[in-house]
Chains A and B, each alone.
Chain A
Amino acid sequence: MHSILKTSLAALVAAGISASAAHAEGHALSGDLVIFSDMSNPAPRAVMEGMVERFGEMHPDLNIELTVIDREAYKTQIRNFLTANPPDVANWYAANRMLPYVEAGLFEDISDLWEGQISEELASTKGALTIDDAQYGVPYTYYQWGVYYRKDIFDQYGLSEPTTWEEELANCQTLLDNGVKCYTIGTKFLWTAGGWFDYLNMRTNGYDFHARLTNGEESWLSDEVRATFANWQQLIEMGAFIDDHQTYSWQEALPFMVNGEAASYLMGNFAVAPMREAGLTDEQIDFYQFPEITAGIPRGEDAPTDTFHIPSGAANKEAAREFLRFVVSADNQTLINNGENLGQLPVNALSSVDDDKFLNEGFDMLSNKAPGGIAQFFDRDAPAEMAAVAMEGFQEFMVFPDALEDVLERLEAAREDIY
């Protein structure tokens, strides 16, 4: 472990952040560092504990207290503990999800930490953590979204990865003719439908329009939005999605793909692990980028970022800043995102990606094939209230496409109220 300290310090010095390295050596950190984390699933929990252990070895005088809270419970508890009993470091999410806390003055402005090298290394997500030219957190991981599909089924019917909307529709028709649904999805918890809207809208109207729409600057009754829904309706009326998806969670929708009743799944990379656990081999599953719809529009991608923040009421902000520097370092991000740990993508540009088929493809896609821009996800880009109303509308539309007009009017009314 000592060697990690040496190499990471060497890396920091080499990278030219001699100031902060000297700072770390000059003032040994002491006192308490309280960390609240939502990384409660087994693998993320081990990652979090590992990070604390390694950081603790670098700073033996620092007494680190780590509290891991169940991920769902954390979402409600964070409001209380940020006000009443703030830790020094807390997990949260980027973009609009952190906006209310920033506006309420509960997250510390850490623009000083972002100055210099870190800004370059983490450039891809800087925007998602910036509000009014100030930064309020650092990223530790992100993951790509895309279409995961059953390669063996595609091979069986002589299909190949589609790159255009026509090919996508043709593939789908072939599958349907053979009694296989094109996509599995479980919309019980709504957000999965948000993913479909993100992609259809970004492909139909482009990333910039999508960003303006989630920012409340575009009307839901506009022709552009209607075009997006028209494309969606094509799929729905073909019967491309599995039946009764409103009763399934995203996990409950997985067996359709595992059993071969549906051929593909638009999902985040976290879906790969349960697919493998369900017995699908890497020869059976593959991945493609969501195909082009409107020709010539630069493609945007969804890649939600998970983050660390310092509450403004923190007691030991110096140690907290040092911990955040440690979290974003290239070495640490390489380690925590590898296949044995989180199995996701490191944000730091100097990190290396673990040698996993899906991570490599995803990293390549986000770095080289997403010139449009990187979106967080519908419910992180749009304000919470808007996301709630909109995703419920998406779910309704997916079951009753005829309700489109009603849904759109409801969304537009919500937009007028919320922004």
Chain B
Amino acid sequence: MSISSDSSGRPARGWYKRNEIAITPWLFLAPGVFFFLIYVIAPIYQSFSLSLYDWNGLGDVATNGTYVGMENYNKLFGLNGERADRNFQISLWNNLKWLLLYLLAIPGGLFIALFLNQTVRGIRIYKSLFFFPFVISQVVVGLVFTWFYLPDGGLFTVILDWFGLEIRGGVLGNRTAATYGIIAAGLWPQAAYCMILYLTGLNAVDPEQVEAARLDGAKGRKMLWYVILPQLKPATFIAFVVTIIGALRSFDLVSIMTGGGPFGSTRVLSFYVFEKSLSERGLQYGYAAAIAVVLFLIMLVFIAYFLWSMYQDEKEAR
């Protein structure tokens, strides 16, 4: 009996078999990566290049567009002797208001979630009532609030009347109040969304830890702050992410409730992009692309932060 070596006895392993561990994840990722490249990365690149053209969106950029370099950005920011775009500044300011005030949805959602996390008879009915705004479409929310704010007999106006207050032109007809009115309308479904996130988070809170804390004499605010909230950190993170994104892409409500008015005072960047490109009196694709690039750069700050903090979490978990 001759001694045969192991390797010659078995058939040689194929290239795929040898590299299976390294390749398989990529195979699973492939469809996602493919579509991400085509539908996310490529359009970003296209927006960047389009923003250097003066193009009305008709025909082909190469034939119907003119290369203008940074001209669109000069117009936006008022550089190189161009007049700064007033509407762009309004949109930028309004986006900032949205970013800050929209975050109120997080404590709002948390509060409702804590309230709904009780075991009371009929709690399911209350829960579904609070779920409701999240389920209905943004368009309906916008319409309902538009009627709510109507200057002539709208419920909100009637309520203000009881306190002897009056907003000139109604909430949505008033230059200073309109944006806040729309944000308030947006907070309704957004708070419901955060509430859902927190309700699931509360389900995962460890009852033994709560019990232990109770034995140590923690209750009320201290219990919430030192025991419950730390365990809700993942939920808070997701709520933060969706709320920031929601604030930056606030479009539906602005479009439904005021269409950017009155006097163009409720524009936000995403709506302004739409207005300059796709809307009835748009036809300035290059300019709109420049605004989109600015919006993207703002988002990039948050995206970078999210990725960084996710990376940190992963490192800790390892």
B-contacting residues of A (Cβ < 8 Å)?
A: 72, 75-76, 79, 82-83, 100-101, 103-106, 188-190, 243-244, 246-247, 379, 384-385, 387-388, 392, 395-396, 399, 410, 413
Decide: A243 and B151 in contact? CB cutoff 8 A: yes
CA distance A235 to B57 in the complex (A): 40
Residue numbers in A under 8 Å from B169 (CB-CB): 243-244, 246-247, 399
B152, CB-defined interface residue at 8 Å: yes
B283, CB-defined interface residue at 8 Å: yes
Q: How far is the CB of A173 from chain B (nearest CB, A)?
A: 24
Once A104-B58, A399-B262, A399-B263 are accepted as A-B contacts, the answer to whether A247 and B172 lie under 8 Å apart by CB is yes
Most B C-beta atoms less than 10 A away, residue of A76, A101, A189, A413: A76
Decide: A79 and B262 in contact? CB cutoff 8 A: no
Once A384-B282, A385-B281 are accepted as A-B contacts, the answer to whether A244 and B261 lie under 8 Å apart by CB is no
CA distance A374 to B279 in the complex (A): 27
Q: How far is the CB of A194 from chain B (nearest CB, A)?
A: 11
Once A106-B58, A244-B173, A246-B169 are accepted as A-B contacts, the answer to whether A395 and B263 lie under 8 Å apart by CB is yes
Once A82-B58, A247-B151 are accepted as A-B contacts, the answer to whether A385 and B283 lie under 8 Å apart by CB is yes
B259, CB-defined interface residue at 8 Å: yes
Give the total number of A-B pairs whose CB atoms are below 8 A apart.
74
B150, CB-defined interface residue at 8 Å: yes
Residue numbers in B under 8 Å from A399 (CB-CB): 169, 173, 262-263
CA distance A321 to B275 in the complex (A): 34
Residue numbers in B under 8 Å from A72 (CB-CB): 280
CA distance A83 to B59 in the complex (A): 6
Decide: B152 and A100 in contact? CB cutoff 8 A: no
Residue numbers in A under 8 Å from B149 (CB-CB): 247
CA distance A230 to B259 in the complex (A): 28
Once A76-B279, A244-B169, A379-B281 are accepted as A-B contacts, the answer to whether A104 and B59 lie under 8 Å apart by CB is yes
Residue numbers in B under 8 Å from A189 (CB-CB): 259
Decide: A413 and B83 in contact? CB cutoff 8 A: yes
Residue numbers in B under 8 Å from A188 (CB-CB): 258-259, 261-262
Residue numbers in A under 8 Å from B263 (CB-CB): 246, 392, 395-396, 399
Once A100-B58, A106-B59, A413-B83 are accepted as A-B contacts, the answer to whether A246 and B262 lie under 8 Å apart by CB is yes
B138, CB-defined interface residue at 8 Å: no
B64, CB-defined interface residue at 8 Å: yes
CA distance A76 to B264 in the complex (A): 21
CA distance A410 to B90 in the complex (A): 15
Decide: B281 and A384 in contact? CB cutoff 8 A: yes
Within 8 A of A (CB), among B51-73: 56-60, 64
Decide: A190 and B261 in contact? CB cutoff 8 A: yes
Once A247-B150, A385-B283, A385-B284 are accepted as A-B contacts, the answer to whether A100 and B262 lie under 8 Å apart by CB is no
Q: How far is the CB of A390 from chain B (nearest CB, A)?
A: 10
Specify the chain B residue showing the minimal Cβ separation from A382. B281
Contact bitstring B281-296, A, C-beta under 8 A = 1, else 0:
1111000000000000
Specify the chain A residue showing the minimal Cβ separation from B283. A384
Which residue of the partner chain, among A82, A100, A247, A379, contacts B56 with CB atoms under 8 Å? A100
Decide: B83 and A387 in contact? CB cutoff 8 A: no
Decide: A387 and B58 in contact? CB cutoff 8 A: no
Decide: A101 and B58 in contact? CB cutoff 8 A: yes
Contact bitstring B133-159, A, C-beta under 8 A = 1, else 0:
000000000000000011110000000
Q: How far is the CB of A129 from chain B (nearest CB, A)?
A: 19
Once A246-B263, A247-B150 are accepted as A-B contacts, the answer to whether A79 and B57 lie under 8 Å apart by CB is yes
Contact bitstring B71-88, A, C-beta under 8 A = 1, else 0:
000000000000100100
B108, CB-defined interface residue at 8 Å: no
Q: How far is the CB of B179 from chain A (nearest CB, A)?
A: 14
Q: Which 3 A-B pairs have the closest CB atoms?
A: A104-B58, A247-B173, A388-B281
